[in-house]
Amino acid sequence: MSSALLVATVVQPAAPEAAEPTALWLNPGGWVALAVIVVFIILVIKRVPGAVGRALDSKIELIRDQLAEAEALRKEAEALKAEYEAKSASVDEDRKALLERARHEADEIVAKAKTDAEALIGRRTRMAKDKIAAEERQAIDQLRSTAADAAAKAAARIIAERHDAATDAKLVDRAIKEI
């Protein structure tokens, strides 16, 4: 059938002479209502509402337990958070103390290095002065030695030029007499 024909058959009222069939004075809608009422009565008799209530109560108790567990976990997490915050503050204090100690030690090391450097410079300066003085003494001694050698050679040459064998004999005789 086409859709227009279906609409025409649905819209058209039924003929008044055709009455709906009934069984035991109930039409089909009445039988459905009666069946629903019977099912409800059976459910009440079988205590289904109590069973549903108990099921709901157990579900509520389970949810309450889960909420209590969640609350305990939240408190534990807050305690852990507070503990870690305290540890963090302690670590910050330790870090500051460690930095201060390191700065103090670094200052001490720098001061010791300065005094050691000054002492080393002083020792090196004294060593250099001593070495220069030794070199000066050696140079003076060498100069004296060279001057004495030159004077001795000059005296020997002068004596050799001015004295002859007779003069030498007189000097030797005079030295012998004085002794």
State the virtual CA torsion across 16, 17, 20, 22 in degrees, nearest 10.
Answer: 140
Q: Decide if 159 is inside a domain.
A: yes
Is residue 64 assigned to a domain? yes
Residue 8 forms part of a structural domain = no
Structural domains counted in the chain:
1
Task: Confirm whether 122 is domain-assigned.
Answer: yes
Please indicate whether residue 12 or residue 23 has the higher confidence score (pLDDT).
Answer: 23
Check residue 8 and give its pLDDT. 45
pLDDT at 19: 58
pLDDT at position 40, please?
A: 84
- Is the residue at 177 inside a domain? no
pLDDT at 7 over 50: no
Domain with 55, as residue range(s), is 28-164
Question: Could you tell me the two tokens for 88?
Answer: 């963090």
Q: Which residue has the tokens 């030498």?
A: 168
pLDDT beyond 80 at 13: no
